[in-house]
C-alpha cells in the first residue's frame, strides 16, 4: 500500500528538539502519513527512533544524505489506526 501523503520536513540547521517538534506537528496534521525528515543535529539519530517508538509511529528508513548535509529519516507518523502522539494511553501514563 502506498502512503497517503509524503511530507518533507527540512530541519537541517535546527538543533533538537526542533526536528522532533516538527514530526509532532506533522503527526497532528496528517496522522498515518509518511514524512521525510532531514536533520543534521547528531542528537536526531537517537531522538527520531525514540519518538517513533514512544508515539506509535515507525522509523521506516534512515540514510545519510548524498550531499553530506545531514540524515534523511523516513517515518510513518502515528495515528490512523495506531496510537496518536501525546495520547493519554502512552507508556508511563495512567488513564484512570
Residue 13: what pLDDT? 98
pLDDT, tens digit (0-9, with 9 covering 90-100), for 7-64 = 899 999 999 999 999 999 999 999 999 999 999 999 999 999 999 999 999 999 999 9
Query: Could you give the domains of the chain?
Result: 6-76 (3.30.110.40)
* Cα(54)–Cα(41) distance, integer angstroms: 20
* Cα(94)–Cα(42) distance, integer angstroms: 32
Residue with cell 509524503: 6
pTM for this prediction: 0.78
Amino acid at each position: 500500500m502506498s502512503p497517503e501523503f509524503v511530507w518533507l520536513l527540512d530541519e537541517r540547521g535546527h538543533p533538537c528538539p526542533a526536528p522532533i517538534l516538527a514530526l509532532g506537528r506533522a503527526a497532528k496534521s496528517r496522522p498515518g502519513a509518511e514524512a521525510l525528515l532531514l536533520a543534521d543535529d547528531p542528537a536526531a539519530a537517537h531522538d527520531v527512533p525514540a519518538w517513533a517508538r514512544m508515539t506509535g509511529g515507525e522509523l521506516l528508513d534512515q540514510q545519510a544524505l548524498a550531499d553530506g548535509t545531514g540524515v534523511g529519516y523516513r517515518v510513518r507518523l502515528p495515528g490512523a489506526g495506531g496510537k496518536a502522539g501525546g495520547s493519554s494511553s502512552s507508556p508511563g501514563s495512567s488513564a484512570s
